[in-house]
A and B are shown apart, each in its own frame.
Chain A
Amino acid sequence: MAKAESEYKLFQGCTIGNRIPFIEVSSRKVFDKLGIKTSEGPFACCPDPVGFNAVDHTSWLAMAARNLTIAEQEGKDIVSLCNGCFQTLKAVNHELKHNEHEKEKINDILKTVKREFKGSISVKHFVEVLYDVGIDKIKEHVKNDFSGLKVACHTGCHYNRPSEIMQTDDPMKPKKLRELVAAVGATPVDYEEEMLCCGAGVGNAEEAPSMQVLANKFNSALDAGAEIFVVVCPACFQQMDTNQKKAGEQSNNEFKIPILYLTELFALAFGENPDDLGLKFHRSRLTSFLEKFGFK
């Protein structure tokens, strides 16, 4: 297990790095505060476990293995800011470590670029890394308490499934995100559809069912009294933050729900200024939520 002092290779992924980099801002600030060290690497796409794996499984394995060898060269574990990258890298690492035949096949491919997968590092989700810092230590940094805030936690599917490989948390009743949200004073609500997918995956094929799944998710959380969603995956974030109007039209609702990344909630709790976090780039307005808690 990586120690708090050791350094991770940061894997922000294509979506955060090249589309919504403000998520990376809050992540880095929170990591700094908690003494989690990271460094960069010339990583390619993880690649996408929903998209690219569906196109060609072997290409998906080989590309992921290549990324893993970059971290292996430095002997450092990877911390992912994204569920998708996390699932790909962790699942491929696991597959190649446990399947000699598959490993040989992939290493044969990697030979053309003079690389070799060894299976010498681990891959972590940032939620695990924050959780391992310790709830008490996190509490010490809280300057703005979110008492009274009712939160719908959404871990997203690839955070902890398939559980036999991922081993991040309980597969159908994850607790780490809930405890982390509670650490800054907020209250995670129980809602019927907590484990329901955000619907982004099916959206690659067709929009209407994707919006229906999202609307069901939103309605269930609102019924339970949730004021905001807290998410830990950029694909879920984008699906929830940018599609509220469409999901509303699909289901005769009007959704206006703030969607926060866990690291944004933490950064605000640790005393960061909303402007420095790029919160203005959210599509779903945060104004009333921020005002309620005294941020300007």
Chain B
Amino acid sequence: MVKVDYEFRKKIMDAHIIDTLKYCYQCNRCTDVCPIATIAPNRYNPRSLILNSFLGLKSAIFENEDNFFIWGCTVCDTCDEVCPQKIELTEVFTVLKNMSIAEGKGPEYYTTQATAIYESGKAIPSQPAIERRREQMSLPQIEPPNVEEVQKILNQTKLNTIINK
């Protein structure tokens, strides 16, 4: 049986401050322009993601075995641009992705990158070889970020627990 998850529904509505989600009339413009729905129509569909999110059908989204259903989005923001109802689809998708990560279901890339940012302040930490190359090309040294500050902030937002640090 299809079950409405009210807690989930509230999260979606809360994130979507302008509350326009209910105006989606399933016109399919978002899916028509989506480059991923175009090449993988059976695996990714922004229109149905919006519908299921609005209806609170968490299981329809999260119990899909193929996590490409959520993570297929290449974040080109084209759907946001063409939606006649001005629904900010990618903001909703960010909520879904955050939930997927919290449940430990996201692609590895994402938590690996977040760990690098937590540990070094940068998604791509500096390396001696690149530092030498910078010097050879007469580029100034990159001022290192204050990692202690970064970690204080990210402990406060509980990122450390999300990525198990």
- Residue numbers of A with Cβ under 8 A of B are 12, 14-15, 17-19, 21-22, 24-25, 28, 40-45, 47-59, 62-63, 66, 99, 109-110, 112-113, 157-158, 161-163, 171-172, 195-197, 199-206, 209-210, 212-213, 216, 278
Q: Are A162 and B80 in contact (CB under 8 A)?
A: yes
A18 & B142 in contact (Cβ 8 Å cutoff): yes
Q: A21-B130, A48-B113, A113-B153 are in contact. Are A196 and B35 (CB under 8 A)?
A: yes
- Most chain A Cβ neighbours within 10 Å, of B80, B81, B107: B81
Cβ-defined contact, B142 with A17, below 8 A: yes
- A-B complex: 9 closest residue pairs judged by Cβ atoms: A201-B74, A44-B145, A197-B76, A202-B74, A161-B77, A54-B97, A44-B121, A205-B71, A14-B124
* Minimum C-beta distance from B73 to chain A (A): 7
One digit per residue, 1 when the CB lies within 8 angstroms of any chain A CB and 0 when it does not, for chain B 152-165 equals: 11101111001100
Residues facing A in B122-151 (CB within 8 A) are: 122-127, 130, 133-134, 137-140, 142-146, 149-150
B25 at the interface (CB under 8 A from A): no
**Cα-based distance from A172 to B113 in the complex (angstroms):** 30
B4 within 8 A of A: no
**Chain B interface size range:** 35 or more
Contact A162 B98 (CB under 8 A): no
Most buried by A among B72, B150, B153, B159: B153
Verify A59–B133 contact, CB threshold 8 A. no
Q: Whole-angstrom distance from the CB of B44 to the nearest CB of chain A?
A: 8
Contact A54 B94 (CB under 8 A): yes
**A45 to B114 CA separation, bound complex (whole angstroms):** 10
Query: Which A residues are in CB contact (< 8 Å) with B127?
Result: 18
Assuming the contacts A43-B145, A161-B77, A197-B76, asked whether A56 and B153 have C-beta atoms less than 8 A apart, the reply is: no
Asked if B1 is at the interface (CB within 8 A of a chain A CB), the reply is no
CB of B82 to closest CB in A, whole Å: 8
Which residue on chain B has the smallest CB distance to residue A193? B35
List 7 A–B pairs whose Cβ atoms lie within 8 Å, in order of A's numbering. Answer: A14-B124, A44-B117, A51-B113, A52-B117, A62-B156, A201-B73, A204-B109
* A112 adjacent to B75 (CB under 8 Å): no
Say whether A171 contacts B101, CB under 8 Å. Answer: no
Q: Does B2 contact A (CB under 8 A)?
A: no
A66 touching B153 in the complex, CB below 8 Å, given contacts A14-B122, A41-B143, A57-B95: yes
* Distance between Cα atoms of A204 and B156 in the complex (Å): 27
Given A18-B130, A40-B142, A161-B78 in contact, is the A48-B123 Cβ separation under 8 Å?
Answer: yes
Q: Are A45 and B107 in contact (CB under 8 A)?
A: no
Asked if residues B109 and A51 are in contact (CB atoms below 8 Å), the reply is yes
Give A199 to B36 CA distance when docked, in angstroms.
9
- Given A44, A56, A172, A209, which contacts B101 in the complex, CB threshold below 8 Å? A56
Question: From residue A240, how far is it (CB to closest CB) to chain B in Å?
Answer: 14
Nearest opposing residue in chain A for B160, CB measure = A59
Distance of B132 from chain A, by nearest CB (Å): 10
Could you say which residues of chain B place their CB within 8 Å of the CB of A17? 124, 126, 142
- Give the shortest distance, in Å, between A58 (CB) and chain B (any CB): 5
**CB distance A52 to B123 under 8 Å?**
yes
- B10 shortest CB reach to chain A, Å: 16
**A48-B113, A195-B78, A213-B39 in contact; A162/B88 too (CB < 8 A)?**
yes
- B127 CB to closest chain A CB (Å) equals 7
